[in-house]
Every structure is written in structure tokens, then in C-alpha cells.
């Protein structure tokens, strides 16, 4: 081992971010470096990040987690996408699934051909009829993708819903078994090197001192190190993402067990519904400038499908990001680095990204500045790409039934997002700034779901044989419907996978 190799890493804060950081470090570093995680039972975690993106599967796979054990231990269910209700206008309903609208034709996305046919015929079925995930979600069916590449049963993806506190405990057990040292304590102070300004140790309330070479800040919104020590600064995006409050409450399990998240727009924000094996997670995300906390709680509780299992838990946040997530020998991961509201389930994905980039640009004790610069560039860029995608849901609206929605319709947005909206509205083309992020199909799902229908299409598509194109779509739609009907129910699949009824027993 090089004499410059890191020998001690200290993670400040547990929860989802802390243990998602500790687990891969333990796997990769083994006994060559001591990883210590400090968490306090006195400091609560947000604990509402129960819905994920498909990338979580690859994170779990990289750790070598057993799929059935993971589903059993975290009370997980499967997620094919998000059902949106009342977004765009009251009564509107659409689905953002983890898949496309059929295979490309002549190197052009299938939705563009649907648009062409829809212009020719007023009775063209919905574009969602060519989404495998939508067909599965409507029927509450689930099975992982299978079959030859290019077939409808291989062209979709999936993620999970899970109990975030159980997932953190699951990863804690994994990490501790691989050598991570866990300390339950509260941090009382931070020691800095007098010349370099690097963190040398954190001081605990009981008088102990924990030294390290690298310090990872997973302390949540407080940003104990990245902001408390290094004053990284924060880019506040509240003007474009006005929701600043949330209330969360669990309710009893609801039947049927749906394989998707539900997001329902409200007068001053939106509510979520996340089905787990043992309960249903619910929440109300809103702006407290447009609704009181008391009224927000009433909206949340009145919309529950079953009896509440607790009182609503109040949360406050400011959407945005730290101006730098890596300063000297301190790296912020999770809420300490920034926060974008949970509308598209990106919080856990942002942790995955940051952990992956930390491993990719892992330092030695020289902490060369170029590593931090690249990490900060990637993190900032990803936050901005996701920010634009989330803003899109609010900006493109016909709702004018409340002051909140009138504000959203008229608020300024980044030029990058404005260009995306205008190009699609005028030509049907989708701009993708981030090839590793939300896909063309995801943008189409949101834009068309919100009622943006392009004014013109691709002129080259009109040259295709219309009859052959109609036949292709008819066959594809029939294939999707038959494939979905043949799949097991969502709850049935879970029960078979974990070997028991999917009821939390």
C-alpha cells in the first residue's frame, strides 16, 4: 500500500446517505483503510425517500446483495413508474413509466410516428397504449424484464419502493460485517490543521476525538462540515421550485398492491402515495406561502386510502445545492450537498451518483485539487439537469385554480429548460443534456402527459407507408396487451420471491 493512501475515513451521519456511502467503501477498501461512521440517535433522519429510480438495482448488484433478501428485509415492492393525477389540469391522468413507446423505427423514436398517425386520424388510441410499463401498471402486474433484446418484454425497467429506515439498517449490517466501525455519539466540535485548513478530527460530546484523512459529510440539511466548517454556500432555487414544506404519514396497507408511485397535484403542491408490503407511505409536498400547515395536514389526511398509523411529521427544506460538495478533505453526500424535492424520486439516485463519483475520483492524502474540481462539476451538473426536469412538471400547466399554480405558470425558468419545452412544442424533438439521466421517453411522458402536443412533426416520417405503419402499431399494441395479461399480479410475484405472503408477516 502506498504511504500516501488514505488510512482513515470518517463518515459524519448515518441514515440512508451515510450507510449507502459506507457499504461500497467497506467493500472496495477492505482492511486497507479504517472506515468509521458516527451517528446519533438524538438526530432524526428525513426518512421519506422510499421511492427510487432503476439505478438502485445496479447499486445493490454492485454490493452483491441477494434480491429476495433485500425485498424481504426492506419490505420492498416493485416500481414501474409514477402515476400522475391532476397535473396539468384537474382530471388529467398520465403515467411516467420506466420504458419506451416501442422500438425505434428508421432510427427515430416510436412516439414520433404515433404523433404522425394521430394527426391523420382523430381516433388514434393513446400513445400510452404502446408503453409496456403503463399496461403492466394498469393491470397491477409485475415480472422483471425477460426475452430477447428488442421484444416488448425486454424493453422496460423497474425500481423499488422500500422502507428507507430498514434499508439503512440493512446496509449498516452489511458495512459493519465488512469492518466499518460504528460510533453512536453527537459531534461537539471539529479540529482543523493550522496551516492547510484540512479537517484532522471531529470531537464527540463525550470527550472522544475521532481522527481521519477523509471526512464525508452525511449530516443532512445541516451540512455540519461542508457548511458549518467550510461555508460552501448554497444556491437557492426556491423561485423555480417553490415547495418548501412536507408532511409525511404512514397508513395501513391498501389493496391492490400497486407497482407504481402515485403523485396527485393539490392546490398548493402535491401528495404522494408509496405502497410497501407492510404499510403505505403518504406525504404532502407544498409551499407554506400558499397554504397553512394545518390545512396541508387536512389535505394529506383526507386523501388517505386507509387509517393513519401515526400523526403527520413536519419537514422543512430549501431546494438547491451547495456551491461546492468537495472542499479540501471534506465531501458532502446526500442532503448535506443539496436537495431537490421528491417528485421524481431522485434523492437516493443523487446519493448513488455522488458515491460513484467519489470512488471514481478517489483521492490519496495529497488530495489533488483537480479531483475535487471534477467531482464538483459532475455533482453541480447533475443537480441542474434534475432541477430542470422537476421544474418542467410545474411550469407546463393549464391550472389556474389557485394562486400557487398561477405562480408556477408565470415563474421564470432556466434557459436550458425553456429551450427543451419550445423545441418539443414546435417540432416534437427532445433535447437531452444529460445522457445518463432522464431519457427521451421520460421527457415525452411528462410533456405529452401535461398536454404539450407538437405543432409540427418530422417531415421524413411522412414518407413512410402509412398502411404498414398502422399495421405495425396495431400488432405492437396487441402484443403488449397480451404480454401484460400473462404476467403475475404484483403481490403474487412478491410472495413467490420472498417465500411468504406479501403482508409483512
Q: Which residues are tagged catalytic? A: 79
How does strand 159-161 pair with strand 77-79?
A: antiparallel
Residue 257 near residue 497 (C-beta atoms within 8 A)? no
Distances (CA, A) of 72 to 31, 80, 163, 273, 490: 30, 19, 11, 20, 15
DSSP state of 435: T
Cα–Cα distance measured from residue 341 to residue 259, given in angstroms and rounded to the nearest whole number: 22
Cα–Cα distance measured from residue 98 to residue 158, given in angstroms and rounded to the nearest whole number: 6
Dihedral, CA of residue 209, residue 215, residue 344 and residue 401, to nearest 10: 70
Cell of residue 153, nine digits: 418484454
Residue 451 near residue 219 (C-beta atoms within 8 A)? no
Whether the bond between 328 and the residue before it is cis, its omega within 30 degrees of 0, is: no
Q: Which residues pair with 108 in a beta bridge?
A: 105
Binding-site entries for FAD: 14-17, 335, 348
Cell of residue 214, nine digits: 477523509
**181, burial (CB in 10 Å: exposed 0-12, middle 13-18, buried 19+):** middle
Q: Torsions phi, psi of 325, nearest 5? A: -100, -15
Cα–Cα distance measured from residue 468 to residue 450, given in angstroms and rounded to the nearest whole number: 30
Residue 165 near residue 61 (C-beta atoms within 8 A)? no
> What is the number of other CB atoms lying within 10 angstroms of the CB of residue 78?
22
Q: Torsions phi, psi of 381, nearest 5? A: -60, -45
Cell of residue 266, nine digits: 393539490
End-to-end CA distance of the chain: 48
Q: Torsions phi, psi of 35, nearest 5? A: -105, 125
Binding-site entries for L-tryptophan: 344
Residue 26 near residue 63 (C-beta atoms within 8 A)? no
Cα–Cα distance measured from residue 251 to residue 52, given in angstroms and rounded to the nearest whole number: 20
Q: Torsions phi, psi of 93, nearest 5? A: -150, 125
Per this entry, what is the length of the chain?
Answer: 505
Residue 125 near residue 102 (C-beta atoms within 8 A)? no
Cα–Cα distance measured from residue 223 to residue 231, given in angstroms and rounded to the nearest whole number: 9
Helix (H) or strand (E) holding 85: strand 81-85
In sequence order, the 6+-apart residues with CB closer than 8 A to the CB of 4 are 364, 365, 366
Cα–Cα distance measured from residue 255 to residue 420, given in angstroms and rounded to the nearest whole number: 39
Amino acid at each position: 500500500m502506498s504511504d500516501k493512501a488514505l488510512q482513515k475515513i470518517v463518515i459524519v451521519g448515518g441514515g440512508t446517505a451515510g450507510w449507502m456511502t459506507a457499504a461500497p467503501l467497506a467493500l472496495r477498501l477492505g482492511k486497507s483503510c479504517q472506515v468509521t461512521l458516527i451517528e446519533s440517535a438524538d438526530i432524526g433522519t428525513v426518512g421519506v425517500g422510499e421511492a427510487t429510480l432503476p439505478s438502485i438495482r445496479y447499486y445493490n448488484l454492485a454490493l452483491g446483495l441477494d434480491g429476495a433478501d433485500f425485498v424481504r428485509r426492506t419490505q420492498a415492492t416493485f416500481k414501474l413508474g409514477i402515476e400522475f393525477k391532476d397535473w396539468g389540469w384537474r382530471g388529467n391522468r398520465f403515467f411516467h413509466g420506466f420504458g419506451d413507446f416501442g422500438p425505434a423505427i428508421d432510427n427515430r423514436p416510436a412516439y414520433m410516428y404515433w404523433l404522425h398517425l394521430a394527426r391523420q386520424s382523430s381516433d388514434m388510441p393513446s400513445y400510452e397504449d404502446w408503453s409496456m410499463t403503463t399496461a403492466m401498471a394498469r393491470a397491477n402486474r409485475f415480472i422483471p424484464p425477460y426475452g430477447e433484446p428488442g421484444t416488448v418484454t425486454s424493453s422496460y425497467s423497474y425500481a423499488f419502493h422500500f422502507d428507507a429506515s430498514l434499508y439503512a439498517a440493512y446496509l449498516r449490517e452489511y458495512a459493519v460485517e465488512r469492518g466499518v466501525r460504528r460510533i453512536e455519539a453527537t459531534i461537539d466540535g471539529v479540529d482543523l490543521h493550522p496551516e492547510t485548513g484540512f479537517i484532522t478530527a471531529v470531537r464527540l460530546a463525550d470527550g472522544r476525538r475521532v481522527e481521519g484523512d477523509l471526512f464525508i459529510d452525511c449530516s443532512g440539511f445541516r451540512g455540519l462540515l461542508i457548511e458549518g466548517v467550510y461555508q460552501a454556500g448554497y444556491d437557492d432555487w426556491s423561485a423555480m421550485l417553490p415547495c418548501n414544506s412536507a408532511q409525511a404519514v404512514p397508513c395501513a396497507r391498501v389493496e391492490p398492491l400497486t407497482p407504481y408511485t402515485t403523485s396527485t397535484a393539490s392546490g398548493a403542491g402535491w401528495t404522494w402515495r408509496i405502497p410497501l408490503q407492510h404499510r403505505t407511505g403518504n406525504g404532502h409536498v407544498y409551499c407554506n406561502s400558499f397554504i397553512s400547515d394545518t390545512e396541508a395536514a387536512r389535505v394529506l389526511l383526507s386523501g388517505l386510502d386507509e387509517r393513519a398509523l401515526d400523526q403527520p411529521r413536519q419537514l422543512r427544506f430549501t431546494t438547491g445545492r451547495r456551491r461546492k460538495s468537495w472542499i479540501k478533505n471534506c465531501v458532502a453526500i446526500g442532503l448535506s450537498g443539496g436537495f431537490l424535492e421528491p417528485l421524481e424520486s431522485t434523492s437516493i439516485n443523487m446519493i448513488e451518483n455522488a458515491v460513484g463519483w467519489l470512488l471514481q475520483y478517489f483521492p490519496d492524502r495529497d488530495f489533488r485539487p483537480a479531483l475535487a474540481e471534477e467531482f464538483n462539476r459532475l455533482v453541480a451538473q447533475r443537480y441542474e439537469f434534475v432541477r430542470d426536469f422537476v421544474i418542467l412538471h410545474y411550469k407546463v400547466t393549464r391550472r389556474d385554480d389557485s394562486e400557487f399554480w398561477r405562480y408556477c405558470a408565470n415563474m421564470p425558468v432556466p434557459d436550458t429548460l425553456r429551450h427543451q419545452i419550445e423545441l418539443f412544442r414546435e417540432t416534437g424533438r427532445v433535447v437531452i443534456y444529460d445522457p445518463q439521466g432522464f431519457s427521451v421517453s421520460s421527457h415525452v411522458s411528462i410533456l405529452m402527459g401535461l398536454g404539450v402536443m407538437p405543432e409540427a412533426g418530422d417531415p421524413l416520417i411522412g414518407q413512410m407507408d402509412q398502411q404498414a405503419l398502422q399495421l405495425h402499431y396495431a400488432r405492437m399494441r396487441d402484443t403488449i396487451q397480451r404480454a401484460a395479461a400473462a404476467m403475475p399480479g404484483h403481490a403474487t410475484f412478491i410472495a413467490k420471491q420472498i417465500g411468504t405472503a406479501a403482508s409483512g408477516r
